[in-house]
Structure 1
């Protein structure tokens, strides 16, 4: 089913993901319909397959993005809790999923995309700027791109003046359920060799993480969901097998170049 969801338009792709049961929530469907994948995928944007975006990175297949958003939905959508949503997208790559998540967090929330390669961070911003909706998300501060080592999570500074209602500061106490920082949801878009405890610590209580974990040079990778309940208790669950590019150090020396 996952590989049969391709369409000739963005709407057709999303409708196929919906009819195949890969998108289940009307909220998720609306978010996917609002973000044109052609602004993010360099070729054949409406195929349900991963594609290279350069720098040894890919934009994941739409069905994998759908699986991630469905898994995190409870912790992403506005109105579930009194405090604004805070979502971290590690390995944001093209910026596609970052915008989809930003469509769901609501006006008071914030989504931060983290990339270890500056060129990919810039690509995400550039791609999001191709639509009026994307530009509005960037201008409001509701969606932000940063350069850093996602394996260590991220501490986002307090909003600039003029963005007082968006997000908040994340600090070393990010895992404290009473802290205003931390993350309600963390999405990791590359395979980690281990389930990094620093990311677990930065989950709010309650919160959820979606992360592929496993050997990066083989097929032994699985999606893990990590749930932290309101009391801070953590439960880790292994899910289905996947194949992701590795979550690694950025390339050293000169820039990595690939044909798109």
Structure 2
């Protein structure tokens, strides 16, 4: 399942190891996930001017009013998603492509949707250059999901809607898990939704801060 990732030697292993140590200290315990994040070249997912900060545990701007998420948040959401042992995962909000790249090393297939065309084109080229073969990207309104590829074993949403989109819940397989930030200006909560037949159970994890999930595609 692992892709041989090009460009990984451009930063020292010590720098990446420090990031993994910080993730462990914050409670991330999934060893396969930690191994992937320790070798994923995050500096290739940000502008060259920010590459020296790529292994800090912080969000960074990627243009178009978007950010690459803090590594801890990527790890936290991915760890929760993996509890259901998914094979096919939908990501809503491709952004820099970093989250999808991490997921691609841990699941069989990643479907990812990005509403900003310029970002989608940039990331599609990045995936091709880095050799990711099990990621399929679509330029579309993320709140629609990807109905033609549903159902998904898991859905990960990287922007915050005020309420959980019904259309995404309908694309979640029975027993599947959705990890999603929910809320608005008064605060957001990272939630895990588990579908059990016609019933969806919600568990709130912690306070988070994401860009809003916007409709439309541009």
Q: TM-score range by the shorter chain?
A: 0.7 to 0.9
The answer on 1:29 being equivalent to 2:26 is: no
Higher helix share: 2
Q: What does 1:188-199 correspond to in 2, within 5 Å?
A: 188-199=157-168
- Alignment-derived partner of residue 187 in structure 1: 156
Q: What does 1:169-248 correspond to in 2, within 5 Å?
A: 170=149, 181-215=150-184, 218-229=185-196, 231-248=197-214
TM-score under structure 2 length normalisation:
0.85
**Post-superposition shift, 1:219?**
4.1
Q: What does 1:58-207 correspond to in 2, within 5 Å?
A: 58-76=67-85, 85-105=87-107, 109-131=108-130, 135=131, 137-138=132-133, 142-156=134-148, 170=149, 181-207=150-176
Q: CA RMSD in A?
A: 1.9
Higher strand share: 2
Inter-partner Cα distance in structure 1 for 2:156 and 2:54: 22
Question: Which runs of 5 or more structure 2 residues have no equivalent in the other structure?
Answer: 1-12
Contact between 2:141 and 2:217, CA under 8 Å: does it hold in 1?
no
- Alignment-derived partner of residue 47 in structure 1: 56
Inter-partner Cα distance in structure 1 for 2:193 and 2:68: 23
**Could you say what secondary structure the match of 1:9 adopts?**
helix
Contact between 2:140 and 2:217, CA under 8 Å: does it hold in 1?
no
| Alignment coverage as a number of residue pairs | 202
Closer, same or farther in 2 for the Cα pair 1:45/1:76, shift >3 Å? farther
Q: After superposition, give the CA deviation of every residue in 1:208-252 in whole Å (9 maximum; x if it has no partner).
A: 00111111xx241111110013x4531012221111111113576
Inter-partner Cα distance in structure 1 for 2:182 and 2:146: 19
Contact between 1:226 and 1:234, CA under 8 Å: does it hold in 2?
yes
Inter-partner Cα distance in structure 2 for 1:198 and 1:22: 32
Inter-partner Cα distance in structure 2 for 1:9 and 1:127: 22
**Could you say what secondary structure the match of 2:126 adopts?**
helix
Closer, same or farther in 2 for the Cα pair 1:14/1:130, shift >3 Å? farther
Inter-partner Cα distance in structure 2 for 1:40 and 1:128: 10
